[in-house]
Amino acid sequence: MSDPYPQPIVTIDVVLLTLKDGELHAAVALREREPQAGQWTLPGGFVHADEDQDALAAAVRILREKAGLESPYLEQLQTFANRHRDSRGWSVSIAHYALVPLAEVERSGDARVKWLAVDSIRTLPFDHLEILRTAVSRVRSKTLYSSLPVHLMPKTFTLSELQRVYEQLLGSSLDKRSFRRRIEELDVVEPAPAGRAAGQAHRPAQHYRIKRRAGRELAMAERNLGIRD
Amino acid sequence: MSDPYPQPIVTIDVVLLTLKDGELHAAVALREREPQAGQWTLPGGFVHADEDQDALAAAVRILREKAGLESPYLEQLQTFANRHRDSRGWSVSIAHYALVPLAEVERSGDARVKWLAVDSIRTLPFDHLEILRTAVSRVRSKTLYSSLPVHLMPKTFTLSELQRVYEQLLGSSLDKRSFRRRIEELDVVEPAPAGRAAGQAHRPAQHYRIKRRAGRELAMAERNLGIRD
């Protein structure tokens, strides 16, 4: 390379979130090398120029390698780039955030990560606390306007369960009728084929699942989901 | 640095936008060195690790050096990072976008940049067309929900002029009463002290200016600005 300027270090960090006991939890991984070896940090690593097609692919690889997980929802959060965030010099973290349903976390059972309630985390190495808080704030603001929280749900769920997840993320209760109207407008869930409900005296609540075409695309609401009709 | 992986190239690119003749225009600058020397591209450059505190400061410097402008609104857009966007190898562009009032563009009169209507741009070197389109789409979507367009306004303006700018950005007309209510809710403009209006037979329309504390912070609307009350 002919450029005279020393190039910054480039890393990818991922804020991986799940909802557990009604609270957002983030994954932290034990860091193996210096700086900050032996500390719990956000899962992260260098871009592998030979194997990663792009930043998103690098984030997918890092989640798989460091947390043993694939996330149904992963996107770029923001890039943190300055001269003081890493003792090695001017450095760039292309930060991403990902949501994963709790059932997936439990199925994977990867012991290299631990899950901390985000509101209880007071300190993290580097600028990882700032990255974490930016991600949590992004998730909460997207919750107001989009279908994002469906990616925290198990394979099938009732609308009451979905509403509870929105409420837990927002920290406030929602009007049931307005909520259902907004979810209908978002058009991202569909009735799931009825499971067996043997022995139930009453008709069970309808279960829903994410529409396949919704995939990783978010549906955006015209109005704040908290607004009553 | 002890890491075995070759580090990507890191650049900063800036989509600088103004509103001219009712249409968004973007600045392009003549590129001086290879690759793509002699082509018009988005203003951009390397991080200067010795002088730039962070990515935003690098973007401010680049706008000043390449376009002779300071923007009242500049923020990170998205990072474009992959192995095929630059012929020199795996590369990262921490892309930013900025808004500048037309009066500032005219005052600066910097001949090293030219201004193209964004909807007329069909091709740009590297992935700059994708970066440009991402910025334009971000500006249009923020227009629906925020005070962003005030940063395209001259020092003082009427609410009708502000509404026209929103309409030009959205490509659709807005209901006057609902628009004024939303702007009031956003709480980012205040009446400007009356200028001289000698010789005017009728009371001139009230002029407004951006509230000082609004600065670079956006106010976010609870509802889409296009929704009628």
SS3 string of A129-166? HHHHHHHHHHHHHHHHHECHHHHHCCCCECHHHHHHHH
Q: What is the pLDDT of residue B203?
A: 73
Dihedral of CA atoms B67, B96, B218, A92 in degrees, nearest 10, equals -130
Domain ranges of chain B: 9-126, 148-214
Q: Across the interface, do A46 and B3 touch by the CB < 8 Å criterion?
A: yes
Give percent of chain B above pLDDT 70.
Answer: 90
Chain A partners within 8 Å of B79 (Cβ): 55, 76, 79, 94
Eight-class DSSP state of A53: S
Cβ-nearest to B54 among A76, A81, A88: A81
Judge contact between B21 and B103, C-beta under 8 A.
no
- CA B229 and chain centroid, separation: 29
Spell out the SS3 assignment of A67-88: HCCCCCEEEEEEEEEECCCCCC
Q: A49, B6: Cβ pair inside 8 Å?
A: yes
Q: B222 vs A224: CB contact, 8 Å cut-off?
A: yes
Query: pLDDT per residue over B139-172, tens digit each?
Result: 999 998 899 999 999 999 999 999 999 999 999 9
Give pLDDT tens digits for B4-51: 577 899 999 999 999 999 999 999 999 988 888 999 999 999 999 999
Residues of B within 8 A of A10 (CB-CB) are 7-8, 10, 81, 92
Give CA–CA dist B96/B14, Å, rounded. 5
Q: So what's the pLDDT on residue A228? A: 65
Structure tokens of B35? Answer: 């690759």
Task: Judge whether B55 is closer than 8 Å to chain A, CB to CB.
Answer: yes
A195 has a pLDDT exceeding 70: no
pLDDT digits (tens, 9 = 90+) for B181-206: 999 999 999 999 876 555 566 777 89
Average confidence (pLDDT) over A13-42: 94
Instruction: Output the pLDDT for position A4.
Output: 58
DSSP state of B153: S
B54 contacts A82? CB cut-off 8 A: yes
pLDDT of residue A123: 96
What digits encode the pLDDT tens for the residues A100-147? 999 999 998 888 899 999 999 999 999 999 999 999 999 999 998 899
Of B5, B9, B227, the CB nearest to A223: B227
CATH class of A9-144: alpha beta
Q: What is the ipTM of this complex?
A: 0.90
Q: Does residue A206 have a pLDDT over 80?
A: yes
Could you give the 3-state DSSP secondary structure of residue B218?
coil
Q: Report the topology of domain B148-214.
A: Arc Repressor Mutant, subunit A (1.10.10)
**Does residue A71 surpass a pLDDT of 70?**
yes
Any idea what the Cα angle at residue A150 is, between residues A187 and A193, rounded to 5°?
70
Mean pLDDT, rounded, for A188-209: 79
Inter-CA distances, B208 with A127, A147, B68, B168, B183, Å:
40, 37, 27, 19, 12
Q: What is the pLDDT of residue B11?
A: 96
Those residues with Cβ within 8 angstroms of residue A190's Cβ, 6 or more apart along the chain or in another chain: A208, A209, A211
**Tell me: the pLDDT tens digits for B39-83?**
999 999 999 999 999 999 999 999 999 999 998 899 999 999 999
- How many Å lie between the alpha carbon of A115 and the closest alpha carbon of chain B? 28
Indicate whether B2 pLDDT > 60. no
Q: How high is the mean pLDDT of chain A? A: 90
- Residue A229's pLDDT band, with cuts at 50, 70 and 90, is low
- Minimum mean pLDDT range among A80-89, A90-99, B10-19, B206-215: B206-215
Q: Is the CATH number 3.90.79.10 carried by domain B9-126?
A: yes
Q: What is the pLDDT of residue B228?
A: 66
Indicate whether B1 pLDDT > 70: no
Put simply, the answer to whether B81 touches A222 (Cβ < 8 Å) is no
Picking from B64, B45, B70, the residue whose alpha carbon sits closest to that of residue B55 is B45
Tell me: the pLDDT tens digits for A162-171?
999 999 999 9
Reply yes or no on whether the pLDDT at A213 is more than 90: no
Whether B92 sits inside 8 A of A94 (CB atoms) is yes
From residue A140, alpha-carbon distances to A64, A109, A148, A170, A220 in Å are: 25, 26, 9, 6, 14
3-state percent helix, strand, coil for chain B, nearest multiple of 5: 30, 25, 40
